[in-house]
Homo-oligomer: A and B are copies of this chain.
């Protein structure tokens, strides 16, 4: 095997994967072409990296190493590295096969997942996989394999207790801060619930974004184990631990494209649950106009997919279809949602949030054996009303390094604000979820914690022209301006009179 000895030239730039830069003449000498990988060897270790050829940046005889390679390899300037061609990963042929609509074997999916988890794919290859998933989809057996390989290529949480409960909402509904009520309620009943969440992909705030307002969400697996064993529950960010790490890489690409393929959704959710050792899980599927799932029959079909997939993976899965046609509660955006969740736990929450959270918690209490069948909802409501759920949330916040005494009003929210008045009198007949999400993201959420909006009236309520309808919050004037422009172009709330249409008829002739 032909190789060159090149001198390390560290480049002070992060690329997210193992990438090196060769001088074009060295690349030609090696017989290297765009997209080819190289094997790097020192007496101590070996690694495969994606190589780019250039006439700048490095001289002939030099190997430009970006931060990931320099650090994981422990290279110093001038260190000699043996560089030889590496074969193209097998996963690339499998990605093309999926692009062409063919079914992949478990081994092919395993090759893709392994390379994704190891960040061995180029941005082009990674994108091709996600777009092919989005357009072509996967069969159940492919999804089972995808789930299993995602779990296999990551770390696992072993809590040494049974049962382990978990809950996941497929999201898409603004203001969906249910987990901040459900997790402490379930844990308050003595059950174990190690909830990890992602950050928002297309919405204004994911559970991790909201919880991060109240406490730290970035923990190692050992820390998660310690916290859960101490207080029974946690609300952690899944991206900080290597639970099914391929999923986190895939989500980055999904996020840049603004897509969320169904096969990947199923596999991602199940992989994260399997990796934390959950054996009894509840999937919340919000359904309604403007939700990720619009129609009941689709929600039912997705619910069955989850239950079937759980069955094939030895997880007892249940699913709940909840109303997702408008935001849950009134607040949307990390800090505003954290305030609302805290108010709810303290006995002063909006009806839609209380109803959703206690319904889901009720199913989980029954699933975990902490309540008799049919009594789960009632038990959950008692845990909430008695303050036991709030007390448990205080324990969780404290265990996660937050301030358990924090009051809703202590939470800082964006100081660039504007109230939007109702453009006419009438009834709120529809709230458009996607427009709400777009406005909240334009306002700077989820990274801007204080950005978001509050809806002052939900569907069915009456409002007079000029009365306050929405409040928008941002941390930057630019973002507030963008959010307001967006709200003006695509009003997120529809107001109509009771008389929806006036028919002026003429007598028909003939």
Chain A residues in the interface with B (C-beta under 8 A): 1-2, 11-14, 28-31, 33-35, 54, 56-57, 67, 84-85, 96, 99, 101, 122-125, 127-128, 131-132, 134-136, 253, 255-259, 444, 447-448, 474-479, 481-482
Contacts and interface: CB of A to CB of B under 8 A. Distances in A.
A438 to B, nearest CB: 11
* CB-CB nearest 6 A-B residue pairs: A2-B478, A127-B127, A131-B131, A31-B479, A123-B123, A31-B476
Nearest to A447: B33
Given A29-B476, A131-B128, A135-B132, A256 B35 contact: yes
A46 to B, nearest CB: 17
Contacts of A12: 56-57
A34 B256 contact: yes
A57 B66 CA distance: 11
A124 B1 contact: no
A30 B478 contact: yes
Given A123-B127, A124-B127, A56 B14 contact: yes
10 contacts: A28-B447, A31-B448, A31-B476, A35-B256, A85-B478, A99-B257, A99-B259, A123-B123, A123-B127, A131-B131
Contacts of A258: 96
Given A1-B478, A28-B448, 15 more contacts: A2-B476, A12-B56, A13-B56, A14-B57, A30-B478, A31-B448, A31-B475, A85-B478, A85-B482, A99-B135, A99-B259, A123-B124, A123-B127, A127-B131, A131-B132
A478 B127 contact: no
A481 B31 CA distance: 12
Contacts of A253: 124
A321 B451 CA distance: 62
A480 to B, nearest CB: 9
A96 B29 contact: no
Contacts of A2: 476-479
A292 to B, nearest CB: 14
B31 A124 contact: no
Contacts of A34: 255-256
A14 B128 contact: no
Contacts of A255: 34
A124 B54 CA distance: 21
B99 A134 contact: yes
Contacts of A124: 123, 127, 253, 256-257
A11 B56 CA distance: 11
A128 B257 contact: yes
Given A85-B478, A259-B96, A54 B14 contact: yes
A61 B249 CA distance: 30
A190 to B, nearest CB: 41
A222 B11 CA distance: 40
Nearest to A485: B87
Contact of A96 (B257, B474, B482): B257
Nearest to A443: B31
A290 to B, nearest CB: 17
Contacts of A482: 85
Given A54-B14, A135-B99, A135-B136, A31 B128 contact: no
A185 B113 CA distance: 53
